Chain A
Amino acid sequence: MNLVYLAYRNMISKPLNLVLSLLLLVLSVSLVTFILQLSQQLNGQIDKNIGPVDMVVGAKGSPLQLVLSSVLHIDVPTGNIKLEEANSIKKHPFVGSAIPVSYGDNYKGYRILGTERAYLDSYNAVLGEGRYYEKSFEAVVGSNAAKKLGLELGDTFISSHGLVAANAEAHEDHPYTVVGLLEPTGTIIDQLLVCNLESIWDAHAHGEEEDDQEEDDREAQDNEEHHHEAHDHEAHDEEEHQHEEDGHDAELEITSLLVTFKSPLGLVQLPRFINENTNMQAALPGFELQRLMGLLGSGLKTINGIAMAILLVSGFSIFISLLKTIRERRQELALLRTYGLGTGKLLRLVLFEGLFLAFFGFLFGWLLGRLALVVASRYIETGYGYVLQIKGPDLMEFVFLGVTLVIAIVAVLLASTSIFKLNISKTLADE
């Protein structure tokens, strides 16, 4: 039997009052922690994903769309570009590396990406099991995709057209074989099924006639991918080719080229050069996403502002609730004075109660925020293939807990002035 226990019993003695005074706090804490985690994780993931790419070169269209589709894999591509034309950029002195990527198919909603080994290396992806792909229709699978699709070494899967699972048309004559499983990287690679460029070309060369029937249903840009002319697909079937040196590439297409700069001057000159002198467009992921986050950021800030306002209101509601409690328990407090508890101890009693309220409110709010994150993660994963991690409390949240407790302490001090003016004799003599 001590003050802490008494404060706890006082707090839970009126459950409805308790719920009422906690409700606002729970709401604001869950909002703040949810938004905090969401923006942190999205920013973190995006930063990681655009890390190895300084510039994307793809078909003309929206630069943001090009970045979203080719780097973050959350949008449809702007179209295709000629491999030959893309290769000409590689020779520019400011270009450090240039990795071609080609995609347009999925397996149960997970994108199949045709590219070179250098793509995996640029994200520091390492094999957990198996080997890298060596020929067409061999695939290495990102960790999350493997887990969600239940793919293991030696498994085969059939790709289907388009980038979402709903597109039913399948390339049944070209099943892929899983030859490698990648370790988790925390990047977009975890969500991808990666194969060589030839696989993409070959799959579409064979499926061409079928594709034509569906042309009307699809967006023009989407259609572009179906028109890979594979004049020499026979040769591609069994061996890896050095396409950049292949004189017959004239008709081959890729979706985009992921470029790093050798010199900072590339940043200044190359995008302009490409945009003005070629049929392709160059987009800078850092710049485009900063623009996007600027837009999203103001939305997040608004929500945060609302959450903070709710927090203040909840501080006020704790204040009111404590004020009410102190009034209602006037006689109990006077009784405790006759038990020898000084005003300091009574203040501590109310303080404990206020801190309990704040702490439990924060705890429930935090849990609710994490629950919301789980739900959001499921939603984002189905829609975009991104996974949000459910982490323990981080530093910012501890700071936020501190803020909440301080608000509670202020509320207690404001509410408890009457404790110091308590007239024991009169209070106890009253009915």
Chain B
Amino acid sequence: MIKTAGLNFAYSGEQSFDFPDIDLVPGEHLLILGPSGVGKTTLLHLLSGILPASSGKIFIDDVEITALDRKALDRFRGAQVGLIFQQYHFIKSLNVDENLQLRQRFPKKMKDNERRYRLAERLGLSKQLKKKVTQLSQGQQQRLAIAQGVIHQPKVVFADEPTSNLDNSNCDKVVQLLKDEAEISKSSLVIITHDQRVSQHFSNRITL
């Protein structure tokens, strides 16, 4: 599902990262571990195609995304990649449900109310659907971010510290949800985490 070869990224001059090659089959998950500043987030951004690599190749679902032009890459990412960021980003002028609709709509043109409601239910956001995103608590925002990462059934989900603001019960719910969603769509999870509660569920890991 994900394959990299000789991936390297250099921030203007000084800092340069060489990343170990990755090879995941569909349904196989990966934890990325390591101390701060070793380029975990950078690797995640490279894999998801929002940051161009300095050298090396990335294949997702047998598509060489490092060879795609910007437009094709945008489209591929929109359809096949789910991103859960460490900082949450939403469209502030839309409410919770509309934010999820928007993610369904672009670029797959999905309109599956049922799926949205079920996902919100599992993440404990059912009562928050009509609220403004700015009215949500930190934990609720994080769960919404997770919903946004999986709502469009992508081939791969990249998550950067997805449980940092969650209590134990919600953390379990989220991990279970991520695994279930991956199971259904035969997709792979790539997760950066320091969280023991998460890492205990996954065996395949690399340390940077």
Contact = CB atoms under 8 A, between A and B. Distances in A.
Interface string B63-82: 00000001100111111010
B103 interface: yes
B118 interface: no
B129 interface: no
B206 interface: no
Interface string A1-40: 1100010011011000000000000000000000000000
A428 B79 CA distance: 19
Contacts of B77: 338, 340
Contacts of B106: 336, 339-341
A341 B74 contact: yes
A425 interface: yes
A107 B108 CA distance: 74
A334 interface: yes
A340 B51 contact: no
A171 interface: no
Given A424-B50, A424-B51, A428-B85, A341 B107 contact: yes
B89 A332 contact: yes
B165 interface: no
A337 B105 contact: no
Contacts of A429: 41, 45, 85-87
Nearest to B111: A1
B73 to A, nearest CB: 9
Interface residues of B, number: 32
Nearest to A341: B106
B142 to A, nearest CB: 15
Q: Describe A's contact surface by its main secondary structure.
A: helix
A9 B105 contact: no
A2 B105 contact: yes
A429 B86 CA distance: 8
A377 interface: no
Contacts of B74: 337, 340-342
Contact of A428 (B76, B89, B94): B89
Nearest to A334: B89
B49 to A, nearest CB: 9
A9 B78 contact: no
B50 A338 contact: yes
A425 B78 contact: no
Given A6-B102, A428-B50, A338 B87 contact: no
Given A428-B50, A429-B41, A339 B87 contact: no
A338 B83 contact: yes
A121 interface: no
A335 B101 contact: no
Contact of B107 (A339, A428, A430): A339
Interface string A240-263: 000000000000000000000000
Contact of B91 (A6, A12, A337, A428): A6
A332 B91 contact: yes
A362 to B, nearest CB: 23
A339 B89 contact: no
A2 B101 CA distance: 10
B98 interface: yes
Contacts of A1: 98, 101-102, 104-105
Nearest to B50: A424
Contacts of A13: 92-93
Nearest to A425: B51
Most buried by B among A337, A343, A425: A425
A337 B75 contact: no
B90 interface: yes
A343 B91 CA distance: 17
Interface of B: 41, 45, 48, 50-51, 70-71, 74-79, 81, 83, 85-87, 89-94, 98, 101-107
Pick the 6 closest A-B CB pairs, nearest first.
A340-B78, A13-B93, A425-B51, A340-B107, A424-B50, A425-B45
